[in-house]
Amino acid sequence: MRHILKLHVRKRALLASLLIFNMLMATRVILSRSVHPLLPKRTPFLHFAPKHLPKSQSCPLWSSSFSFCLRLHKSATTNPSLASRPCSFLSATAMASSASVDEALGTNPLLQDFDFPPFDVVDAKHVRPGIRALLKKLEGDLEELERTVEPTWPKLVVPLEKIVDRLTVVWGLVDHLKSVKDSLELRSAIEEVQPEKVKFQLRLGQSKPIYNAFKAILESPDWQTLTEARKRIVESQIKEAVLCGVSLEDDKRDKFNKIKQELERLSHKFEENVLDATKKFEKLVTDKNEIEGLPATALGMAAQTAVSKGHENATAENGPWIITLDGPSFLSVMQHARNRSLREEIYRAYVTRASSGDMDNTAIIDSILKLRLEKAKLLNYNNYAEVSMATKMATVEKAEELLEKLRSASWNAAVQDMEDLKNFSKSKDAPEAYDLNHWDTSFWSERLRESKFDINEEELRPYFSLPKVMDGLFNLANMLFGINIEPADGLAPVWNNDVRFYRIKDSSGSPIAYFYFDPYTRPSEKKGGAWMREVLARSHVLSRDGASARLPVAHMVCNQTPPVGNKPSLMTFRELETVFHEFGHALQHMLTKQDEGLVAGIRGIEWDAVELPSQFMENWCYHRDTLMSIAKHYETGETLPEETYKKLLAARTFRAGSLSLRQIRFASVDLKLHTDYIPGGSESIFDVDRRVSERTQVIPPLPEDRFLCGFRHIFAGGYAAGYYSYKWAEVLSADAFSAFEDAGLDNSKAVKETGHKFRETILALGGGKAPLEVFVEFRGREPSPEPLLRHNGLLATASA
């Protein structure tokens, strides 16, 4: 298996993912968990967010580089028809209009210097004038850079990073609000200025003076004197400039740019359709018998939703209740509703989201795939998957090889999982036992889990209150990485009153990073899933005082069950894992020691390695000391019983084969659509999915299954021809955690030493070093899939 993950020397020079252009174009990319699609992971992490990103800064984060007071020239200098007239010839109305424009721009929060992004005051009305004024300023900065550029760091990379960062910060602010505080007005404003933003990004990415300057650095006799991080930056800039079309002739470049514009538009429309289709579905239930089996938390949430929809007297006990397709609501029905017809109705609605009417994503998917293929051909690649792999650790062949290895190790176990469900449901005289379908598997899996391990996930909720979970998570981070995390609410503006803000300090007490945490679902305005996005990257160039680096800022967003009544948010174990997962992404961003802004934190890390820290952190949910420090009953303070912990541990590999195949299906159909699929050919996208499902699903998908129409990861995120990254990084993360197992999880001294090494390598080095080299520096050898198969209980199957 080693050779699967080996970084070929031939590719190494090309592999520093994320150039400036990619960084900006990735404003739709997010680092996310893979449990929904997307997310979500779970949803994407984006690498960065748009994951996809960064936003702005905190006291020690402010940068004088971007303290421009953005005053536009008067109308006379911007309006050709007035340019030659003296001021006295302007009418009073024109003068008043000019003054009002200046005044509006002068107060536009997007154009102000701020320590942290003004999430609380930015509104849709600020987007059009603010983004256009910013682009005008940055266009001038780019022209100046091209006029004065030299193949040196101060004359090339420093001014370039400033341009890139400012746009990333401001656009990231706006795009983040669209994800967490969506409105028709905000959508409209973003859609209007988005083509202008993409046009500037293309102009920047295709700048020949910048491209030639990077090539000159590469060919300079001083090349060997550069640090490894700077070499990675230069190599990635050159590679990504080529992928951005810098070498294309005029006609081809024009076509390439039109494709990029259209892909950006289609991606936004795809995501909006998924969000709208999810919000549109509501099932009002007035008879409690219809929802028999739903736990109290689900009933409370459904009643809260009903209240928000105008049913003022709705209660958890007496209803009415509204069921939605939002994650917590959907999963509760699938896992606990005894009403099989209700499960079927909700399941069919979920797998056909955004596949009909005005919100149908089918044609959008075809257009996206067609345009991606055209883009690949323009760049002289055979397919889009090859374009994607150009900035990843893997190749198409190696990714397919890994997926097949894991598929074959998972198949027999998944078949046995289904037999176990059939036998168990028969023993319970279930009418559907002889014809189990998709809307039955989650329900009977939960019943079998309860029977086999005597664990009821809903009964565990009282032990996982959000405040205790966060305390335990922060204590773990202190033990492993020597950091202290403290509340800093009020220091930074937030977009919702439920959002928390935190400060991270090192062992000396000095702040080293900050982050936001938005934990609860808000179906009416917030997209589903979970993700981490960069708000601001660590950077020496953007230092406020010219000495210490600018500090990183991140935000974590989840969609877990909100507090109900006087109860705090009581989490499922899956929601617990999700919080640990997203925090792993955030740690890699925040604990970086890399001062080169373009490869600091999560920037510049090959996409198929970026899930390593997130999946690594999930392992600690099963670590006894960690879990017991978290699992305290919210009312009594009682610790989770030891026998229950042992049952959780035993249940960890429950249906591992089936869950593995689910991810392999997503990854495989993604690769097939971006390699073999011919847009407009005889085979539809759904035919491809069914073909893949024959080898990855024990129960074939429904003929009307349109899960692809909601697959945001690859059509609206950064995972196109890259969803395999979850499994690829799972190999890395499981092997990384096995280092702690080898050291002895009960040996606190050894765990702290190993945690320090993990921080100084995986978390500290960012994109300044090739990920395989970083892994070897931490682990002492190349990765092996054995720990992953062992953790999943599939090692014996693989050996056989």
Q: Are 188 and 137 in contact (CB under 8 A)?
A: no
Give me the amino acid identity at 687: D
pLDDT at 3 over 80: no
293 in the same domain as 204: no
- Asked if residue 189 belongs to a domain, the reply is yes
pLDDT at 78 over 80: no
Pair type for strands 511-520 and 553-560: parallel
Give residue-wise pLDDT tens across range 456-493. Answer: 888 899 999 999 999 999 999 999 999 999 999 999 99
Pair type for strands 31-32 and 500-505: unpaired
Phi, psi dihedral angles at 317 (to 5 degrees): -80, -40
pLDDT at 43 over 80: no
Question: Torsion angle, CA of 622/624/628/629, rounded to 10 degrees?
Answer: -90
Q: In this predicted structure, what is the pLDDT of residue 266?
A: 97
Final residue belonging to a domain, choices 196, 222, 247 = 247
- Asked if residue 459 belongs to a domain, the reply is no
- Asked if residue 644 belongs to a domain, the reply is no
Give residue-wise pLDDT tens across range 296-314. Answer: 989 999 999 999 999 999 9
Final residue belonging to a domain, choices 201, 228, 247 = 247
299 in the same domain as 188: no
Q: In this predicted structure, what is the pLDDT of residue 398?
A: 94
Q: In this predicted structure, what is the pLDDT of residue 96?
A: 46
* Number of neighbours of residue 669 by Cβ within 10 angstroms: 25
175 in the same domain as 228: yes
- Asked if residue 446 belongs to a domain, the reply is no
218 in the same domain as 141: yes
- Asked if residue 406 belongs to a domain, the reply is no
Final residue belonging to a domain, choices 231, 247, 263 = 247
Q: pLDDT > 70: what percent of the chain? A: 86
Average pLDDT over residues 251-270: 95
Average pLDDT over residues 192-200: 95
777 given a catalytic annotation: no
Mean pLDDT of the chain: 87
Give me the amino acid identity at 768: G
* Number of neighbours of residue 338 by Cβ within 10 angstroms: 14
Average pLDDT over residues 26-39: 42
Pair type for strands 484-487 and 283-285: unpaired
240 in the same domain as 117: yes
Domain holding 118: CATH number? 1.20.1050.40
Nearest Cα neighbor of 272 from 186, 372, 168, 367 is 186
pLDDT at 615 over 80: yes
* Sheet arrangement for strand 484-487: 31-32, 531-536, 553-560, 511-520, 500-505, 484-487
302 in the same domain as 223: no
- Assigned token pair, 425: 């449901």
For the chain, percent helix, then strand, then coil, each to nearest 5? 60, 5, 35
Q: In this predicted structure, what is the pLDDT of residue 338?
A: 97
Cα–Cα dist 188/261, whole Å? 16
DSSP letter (8 states) at residue 640: P
Q: Which residue has the higher pLDDT, 60 or 264?
A: 264
Q: In this predicted structure, what is the pLDDT of residue 489?
A: 96
Please give the full DSSP string across 141-209, using - where no structure is assigned. HHHHHHHH--SSIIIIIHHHHHHHHHHHHHHHHHHHHHHHS--HHHHHHHHHHHHHHHHHHHHHHT-HH
**Sorting pLDDT into bands at 50, 70 and 90, what band is 346?**
very high
Partner residues linked to 504 by β-bridges: 485, 513
CB-count burial class (<10 Å; 0-12, 13-18, 19+) for 251: exposed
- Asked if residue 136 belongs to a domain, the reply is yes
pLDDT at 795 over 90: no
Within 8 A by CB and 6+ apart from 162, the residues are 65, 66, 141, 541, 542
288 in the same domain as 239: no
Q: Are 399 and 389 in contact (CB under 8 A)?
A: yes
175 in the same domain as 292: no
Instruction: Mean pLDDT check: name the lowest of 61-65, 495-499, 657-661.
Output: 61-65
The three-state (H, E, C) secondary structure of 718-775, written as one string: CCCCCCCHHHHHHHHHHHHHHHHHHHCCCCHHHHHHHHHHHHHHHHCCHHHCCHHHHH
Instruction: Mean pLDDT check: name the lowest of 78-87, 352-361, 378-387, 600-609.
Output: 78-87
243 in the same domain as 306: no
Cα–Cα dist 283/306, whole Å? 10
Domain count for the chain:
2
Cα–Cα dist 107/258, whole Å? 34
Q: Tell me how far the alpha carbon of residue 356 is from its chain's centroid.
A: 27
122 in the same domain as 226: yes
Q: In this predicted structure, what is the pLDDT of residue 565?
A: 83
pLDDT at 371 over 50: yes
Q: Which residue has the higher pLDDT, 244 or 106?
A: 244
Q: Which of 458, 582, 596, 606 is the catalytic position?
A: 582
pLDDT at 215 over 60: yes
Instruction: Mean pLDDT check: name the lowest of 18-27, 227-236, 254-263, 353-362.
Output: 18-27
Q: In this predicted structure, what is the pLDDT of residue 545?
A: 81
Q: In this predicted structure, what is the pLDDT of residue 39?
A: 30
Q: In this predicted structure, what is the pLDDT of residue 707?
A: 95
Cα–Cα dist 386/406, whole Å? 22
Nearest Cα neighbor of 767 from 613, 619, 596 is 596
Q: In this predicted structure, what is the pLDDT of residue 491?
A: 96
Domain of residue 170, residue span: 113-247
Q: Are 354 and 361 in contact (CB under 8 A)?
A: yes
Q: Are 159 and 145 in contact (CB under 8 A)?
A: yes
Pair type for strands 484-487 and 500-505: antiparallel
202 in the same domain as 292: no
Average pLDDT over residues 518-532: 91
Cα–Cα dist 355/480, whole Å? 46
Give residue-wise pLDDT tens across range 79-111. Answer: 333 233 333 333 444 444 444 555 567 899 999
127 in the same domain as 224: yes
- Asked if residue 376 belongs to a domain, the reply is no
- Asked if residue 341 belongs to a domain, the reply is yes
Q: In this predicted structure, what is the pLDDT of residue 59?
A: 27
Cα–Cα dist 650/536, whole Å? 41
Within 8 A by CB and 6+ apart from 128, the residues are 189, 192, 193
